Amino acid sequence: MEKYKVIGKELSNDQAYGKVTGRVRYCSDMQSLGMLHMRLKAGTVAHGIIRRVDAEKALALPGVAAVYSCENTPDICYDRGRVEAWENVPNQEKLFDRHVRFLGERVAAVVADSKETAAKACELITVEYEELPAAISVEEAAALEALPLHGDGNVYEVPSFEYGDFETARGEFFHESRSHIGRMTHLAMETQSCRAAYDASSDKLTIWSGCQSVFGVRSTVAQYLGMPYARVRVIKAPMGGSFGVRQETLLEPLTAYAARMLEADVKLVYTREEQIVNTMMKHSLDGTVKSRIRKDGTIEGLSMSCTLDAGAYLTVSRGYASTIGEKIAKVYRMPNIHFDARVVCTNTPINGSFRSWGSCEEALLLENHWNMVCREMGMDPVEFRLKNILYPYETEVVHKIPVGNVHFQECLLKGREVFCWEERKEACKKRNREQRRYRYGIGMALASHTSSFYPYRVDVASAVARIQEDGSLIIHVGIHDHGCGTVMAMKKIASEIMEIGLEKIELNEADTQNSLYDYGCYASRTVYSLGQSVKQCCEHILEMARETAAAALGCSKSFLRYRAGEFFKEMEETVRISLPEVIRYSIQTMGQDIYYANTTNAGENPGVAAAHFTEVQVDTYTGMTKIMHCLSVHDIGKAINPDLCRGQIGSGIQQGMGMALCEEIKIHPVTGQTLITNFKNYEVANACDLPDYQTLLIEEPENSGPFGAKSIGEVVVVPVAPAIVAAVNDALGTNLTRLPLTPAVILEALEGKTV
C-alpha cells in the first residue's frame, strides 16, 4: 500500500488555531466604521394582504437610516434556491411581499446605526393586514377550496419514476408501511449573517456570507439589482456550521439591496428565533412504501409515494422531493420500482435544503419498511440486506450509472461482527426477561449517498495554482469549508503532490473575484470533485516546473526526478534545482510565470456505504429512550482527514438521534404559529445524551477520487434514525414510524399494551 506523507494523517482542521483562540472572524464579528445594522420585523398573520405599513415613527427615531417594506421595495421576484444563472426556478419570493404567507414572515426591515436602535424602530412600525383563511396542514392546503398561496395552486406534482412494473411484480409477501418525519431546524451554531458593502466610487458591491455557493448568491443578487456580475463580489466568510441552511440565498438580496440604496456597509445577523422561523426547516413528510418480497427474502418490487410540506414558498422543494426518488436504488437490487411524490405549499414557514437532500428521507421510508418486513417475516435485518444489496460497480437503475467501488457487504459483515450483533440480541432478550421496567432492543439500517453531481448536472470543478518566488504555493478553489475540514483536505492533496509542507500552501476559499466558477459545496462533492481538480492542477503545475527545471539544467525532463521541493538527475543527484530556483529561472530567464488553471468534470458518482447499528433502552414507565451503544460503519474510500471524518460521524449520530427521538419544530395546527423558537424547547442531544459510540472506516480506494477518496459529509446522518427506530420497535414489539419517537409518543403506544 502506498505510503502518504499527509493524506490520511490526523492534522486537525485548517483554521483550528484561529478558532481555539477566538481570532477567526465570522461574518457576525465583522465591524467597520459607519457600519449600519439591519433588523427585520415579523408579520403577525399566517395568511393575509398588507393594507398599509406605517413607518413614520420608526423613521423619526434618531439613528434610523431607512425602513423597507412592500411599500417601497421593487416588485421583483427572485429565488433563494437558484444557483446557476440560467436555472429554471419558481421565482416566488420578493424582498417584501404584500401577500403574507406565513406567521413570522418578514414584513419590514429597519437599517440603523446600532442593532438596538434598529430593533426599537421595528417595534414602532405598524402593519395593517387584511386576513385571509390560512391552510396550515397539507390536507387543508391540498383541498380544492383552499386559497392558492401562489398563482399556480398549492399542489406541485413531481415527475414519477417507473422501472419494471411494480403492480405485476411477483413475490409471495406484500407489505405496506407509512412513515412520518417531523420538521427540524439545522441548528447551525452561528445564526445566519450577511454583510454587504457598496462602494459608490467604483459602483462595486461586496458581500460577505458564510454560504455554500458564492456564485449562486452572486447570480441572484446581481440579477436582482441589475448589476453586472463582475461588479458584485461575493466572499465566502468562515461558516459556523451549515447542515444545509447555508445552501440557499437567504439574507443576501435584502442586505445587498440596503447597502446599494444607502451606499453603505450593512450587516444583518439573525436572532435564533429568526434562524428557526425565517431560514428554512427540514421538510415534514408523509410516505407510504409497499413491497413485494419472495419467501427467501429477495426483493421483487418496491413502490414509494410521498408528500412533502414545502411551507409557504416552493423554493427547492420540488427538486428535493424528486431527489428522494433518484436515490431510491443506490443500495438494493430491485427489479420493479415505482416512485411518485408531490409537494404542497402551506401557510407555514418554508422548508428546504437539509443535510443529505433526500437521502435521510429515502432511507427513513425504506429502512423503516425493511425493518418492519424483517420483523413480520422473522428475518434477521442483516441477513435480509445481505441478500439484496448491490455489488461494487453494479448499475444503479435510476440513472443507469455504476455505483462505483462501494462495499455494502463489508459494511454489514464488519459492522455485525464489531457491534457483536448476535451477542447483543441475546443480551437484550436476557435483560428483558430479568426485569419489567426497561425494554432493550437492537436495530440497524443501511444507506448510501453521492460523491458528485454526476449525472444530475455537469460537475464543474476548477482550481488555479501559482508557484510563488520562494517555492510556496497559492491555490484558488471555489471551495466553501463548512468547518468540517475540506480546506485541510485540499491542502493535504496539494502538499502530497507538490511535496512541500502544509505551511507553504495558501488556499483561498470561494470568492467570485478570485475563484473560477463553481456551483458550490453541497451534495458531499467537495473532496471528490474539487479535490480531484486540485490534485490534477498540482500535477500539472509540477510538470510545468519540471519542464522549466529541465531547461535550467539543460537536460531532458525525462531525466529529472522530484523530491521534497527539488528536481534532480537520478544518475547524478548533485545536479539539482529547487522550486525557488525554478521559478526564478522561469521568470528571469524564460519570461514566464508558473501557474495553471484546471477544470475537471466528474464523469462518475461513486456511492458511499454506511451501516449503523444501535442498541437502545426504553423506559416503559417514562417513555424515555436511551442509546446504550452504537456503531457507524462507513465505506468512504480513502479518508483524507480521518480525524474529522470521525468528528462528522459523531454529528451524524447526534442529528440522527434528534430526528428519531426528540427534535421537532412544532407548528400550531390552527394558528400556524411556530411553537418552538428557541433551544429551551428544542430538544437536542447534548454531551450527556450521546452514547460512547464506535466508528469504523472502510477505506477501499475509489479510483476516480483523489487518492481514492469519495465522500463523507452527509451520509453520516442518513442511516442513524432508521436504525434507532428499528431498535425501539425491537425493544417494544411495536411498529412505530411516526417520528420523532418522543416519550409521549412511546407511552401512547404502550397504553394498554403489555411488553
List binders of another protein among 434-453 (CB under 8 A): 437
Q: How far is the CB of 272 from another protein (least distance, A)?
A: 4
CB 626 within 8 Å of CB 616 = yes
Helix, strand, or coil here: 190?
A: coil
Q: Which of 21, 168, 558, 574 binds another protein (CB under 8 A)?
A: 21
Binding mask 256-285 for another protein (x = CB under 8 A): ---------------xx-------------
By CB under 8 A, is residue 624 in contact with another protein? yes
Q: How far is the CB of 547 from another protein (least distance, A)?
A: 39
By CB under 8 A, is residue 501 in contact with another protein? no
| Measured distance CA(180)–CA(137) in Å, rounded | 14
CB 185 within 8 Å of CB 674 = no
Max distance between CA atoms of the chain, in angstroms, equals 90
β-strands 608-619, 473-477 pairing? unpaired
With a CB cutoff of 8 Å and minimum separation 6, the contacts of 24 are 15, 18, 238
Q: How far is the CB of 725 from another protein (least distance, A)?
A: 17
Helix, strand, or coil here: 87?
A: coil
Q: Which of 38, 304, 465, 685 binds another protein (CB under 8 A)?
A: 685
Q: How far is the CB of 642 from another protein (least distance, A)?
A: 9
> Which is nearer to another protein, 107 or 389 (by Cβ)?
107
| Measured distance CA(181)–CA(184) in Å, rounded | 9
The stretch near another protein (CB under 8 A) out of 295-303, 599-607, 610-618, 620-628 is: 620-628
By CB under 8 A, is residue 431 in contact with another protein? no
Q: How far is the CB of 3 from another protein (least distance, A)?
A: 21
Residue corresponding to grid cell 421576484: 77
> Which is nearer to another protein, 187 or 544 (by Cβ)?
187
Q: What are the CB-based long-range contacts (under 8 Å, 24+) for 371-376?
A: 371/443, 371/445, 371/722, 371/725, 371/726, 371/729, 372/175, 372/177, 372/729, 372/735, 372/737, 373/173, 373/175, 373/291, 373/293, 375/729, 375/730, 375/735, 376/175
> Which is nearer to another protein, 352 or 483 (by Cβ)?
483
> Which is nearer to another protein, 43 or 607 (by Cβ)?
43
> Which is nearer to another protein, 71 or 689 (by Cβ)?
689
CB 387 within 8 Å of CB 376 = no
Q: How far is the CB of 639 from another protein (least distance, A)?
A: 12
Q: Which of 32, 160, 589, 681 binds another protein (CB under 8 A)?
A: 681
Q: Which of 621, 703, 733, 755 binds another protein (CB under 8 A)?
A: 621
> Which is nearer to another protein, 481 or 730 (by Cβ)?
481
Q: Which of 502, 551, 575, 690 binds another protein (CB under 8 A)?
A: 690
By CB under 8 A, is residue 25 in contact with another protein? yes
- CA-nearest of 99, 108, 105 to 59 is 108
**What is the secondary structure of 13-71 as a DSSP string?**
-TTHHHHHTT----GGG---TT-EEEEEEE-S-SSEEEEEEE-HHHHHSTTEEEEEETT
Q: How far is the CB of 527 from another protein (least distance, A)?
A: 15
Q: How far is the CB of 61 from another protein (least distance, A)?
A: 10
Angle at 202 between CA 475 and CA 512, to 5 degrees: 25
> Which is nearer to another protein, 50 or 239 (by Cβ)?
239
Q: Per the structure block, which three cell numbers stand in for 472?
A: 510556496
> Which is nearer to another protein, 77 or 745 (by Cβ)?
745
- CA-nearest of 724, 720, 531, 556 to 626 is 724
> Which is nearer to another protein, 296 or 692 (by Cβ)?
692
DSSP state of 147: P
Q: Per the structure block, which three cell numbers stand in for 260?
A: 446599494
Residue corresponding to grid cell 453531481: 453
Helix, strand, or coil here: 310?
A: strand
Q: Which of 6, 7, 8, 28 binds another protein (CB under 8 A)?
A: 28
Tell which positions 64-123 bind another protein, by CB under 8 A. 123
> Which is nearer to another protein, 607 or 656 (by Cβ)?
656
By CB under 8 A, is residue 754 in contact with another protein? no
Helices and strands (H and E) in the chain: how many: 18, 28
CB 303 within 8 Å of CB 335 = no
> Which is nearer to another protein, 170 or 666 (by Cβ)?
666
Binding mask 661-680 for another protein (x = CB under 8 A): -x---x-xx-----xx-xxx
**What is the secondary structure of 162-175 as a DSSP string?**
EES-TTT---SEEE
Binding mask 185-214 for another protein (x = CB under 8 A): -xxxxxx-----------------------
The sign one gets for the Cα dihedral 490, 495, 498, 503 is positive
> Which is nearer to another protein, 45 or 618 (by Cβ)?
618
CA dihedral 741, 744, 748, 752 (to 10 degrees): 120
Tell which positions 628-657 bind another protein, by CB under 8 A. 641, 643-644, 646-655
Binding mask 366-385 for another protein (x = CB under 8 A): --------------------
Q: Which of 151, 296, 687, 754 binds another protein (CB under 8 A)?
A: 687
Give the H/E segment covering residue 217. Answer: helix 214-225
CB 392 within 8 Å of CB 702 = no
Helix, strand, or coil here: 345?
A: strand
Q: How far is the CB of 130 from another protein (least distance, A)?
A: 26
**What is the secondary structure of 605-646 as a DSSP string?**
---EEEEEEEEEEEETTT--EEEEEEEEEEE-BS-SSHHHHH
Tell which positions 510-539 bind another protein, by CB under 8 A. none
Tell which positions 548-567 bind another protein, by CB under 8 A. none
Q: How far is the CB of 83 from another protein (least distance, A)?
A: 22
**What is the secondary structure of 676-693 as a DSSP string?**
--STTTS----TTTS---
> Which is nearer to another protein, 373 or 645 (by Cβ)?
645
Q: Which of 1, 144, 571, 688 binds another protein (CB under 8 A)?
A: 688
Q: Which of 311, 335, 352, 483 binds another protein (CB under 8 A)?
A: 483
> Which is nearer to another protein, 26 or 173 (by Cβ)?
26
Binding mask 229-248 for another protein (x = CB under 8 A): ---------xxxxxx-----
- CA-nearest of 531, 403, 510, 408 to 455 is 403
Tell which positions 1-20 bind another protein, by CB under 8 A. 10, 12-13, 15-20
Q: How far is the CB of 608 from another protein (least distance, A)?
A: 19
Q: How far is the CB of 658 from another protein (least distance, A)?
A: 10
